[in-house]
Chains A and B, each alone.
Chain A
């Protein structure tokens, strides 16, 4: 079992650019959640996808958007990057039946 995988591992962008991060859930999981973890802070919930739809959203602007594919994998898109978007982005997958979230290793985004 590969667990939750994320790509890329690291990414460097400049202000104003757009970025796409990818997540493959653990086998048997159908729900994907995204979190932003700033340096020295706890993760903050961005949104959750189930059945290819966003069903819960945290306090993040519309610049943050996502998508879930029929194979349950997911993408996080961030437009018009700001310096403050620099963080570790964590993907967590879960089963709609069990609801325990398993986290991937994260993507470290640096915005210059």
Chain B
């Protein structure tokens, strides 16, 4: 079945540092890939997505590129802010569930210090 593996957190960075959160996946066919963000006490918000190989999703300074050869979708940001502190989830939507269900990783907590 489908699975998503994320780097364990917490990741602690100083403001304006470069961020990378690693994500790799296992799936049959060509899944769609997503990054969601969860702020304290809130539900999930879609951050960015990519639906085919070599697509780059981007939003609010965050980027991730769909790499089929390495089955990866790493999240990057050039300069983090304190307001980026949250839990980040990598997810996929695969063919085996008719593209209906999302499969999530376990999440990576990001803490940005001023």
Contacts and interface: CB of A to CB of B under 8 A. Distances in A.
B44 interface: yes
Interface in A4-32: 4
Nearest to B97: A56
Given A41-B106, A41-B107, A105 B43 contact: yes
B43 A90 contact: yes
Contacts of B46: 100-102
A56 B98 contact: yes
A99 B43 CA distance: 18
B100 A42 contact: no
A27 to B, nearest CB: 17
B31 interface: no
Nearest to B100: A56
Contacts of B102: 33, 35, 43, 45, 92, 101
B43 A45 contact: no
Interface string A70-112: 0000000000000000000010100000011111111000000
Interface of A: 4, 33, 35, 40-45, 48, 55-56, 58, 90, 92, 99-106
